[in-house]
Amino acid sequence: MTKVMVAIASGSEEIEAVSIIDVLRRAEITVDVVSIEADMSLEIVASRGVKLVADLHISDIDPADYQMLVLPGGVPGSEAFRDCESLINILKQRKAKQWLAAICAAPAIVLAEHQLLGDADVTCHPGFQQQLPQSQLSEERVVVDQAHRLITSQGPGTAIEFSLALIAQLKDQESAELVAAPMVLA
């Protein structure tokens, strides 16, 4: 069974979070929406005021259960991720076979801040690209770095494309295309 953790925090970008969750579930991938809230709350208020409810709190998961760890962007959500010691420990200790995916502000605010990019090719929201190593920065909307098992993307407008790239890596390109077709994307 393919299983993915999608982290959420107060201030996460709701288009990104919901798109990732929805699109992966359309591919019959098990998604655990995981709150990182310090007060143990499962409900968060996203960056535009939309309320989202997680399935689990980060203190209740086993990171080894997941084939992929995903960080939606948004501010201050990405800052909450950056400052969450338990999440950062999970990201730093991810297994060699686990994928890491981040979109919008998260590649810069979380991954770059904690030296989790290695020398991977990456992208992020244009407003944060100066915070990424310029020699690694790609102008692509979605960047899949196979060698580092890292997928990054630029923002809300790329969220579905990003999610389909996640499916292509977790399953295969045909599965991504089968999800895209009834969504009138392909």
What's the CA gap between 108 and 115, in Å, rounded?
A: 10
Of 82, 100, 91, nearest to 153 by C-alpha is 100
Helix (H) or strand (E) holding 161: helix 159-170
Tell me how crowded residue 186 is: count the other CB atoms within 10 A of its CB: 11
* Active site (annotated) includes residue 124: no
Contact 91, 150 (CB under 8 A): no
Which member of 31, 91, 103, 104 is catalytic? 104
For the chain, the maximum distance between any two Cα atoms, rounded to a whole number of angstroms, is 42
Catalytic residue numbers, as ranges:
104
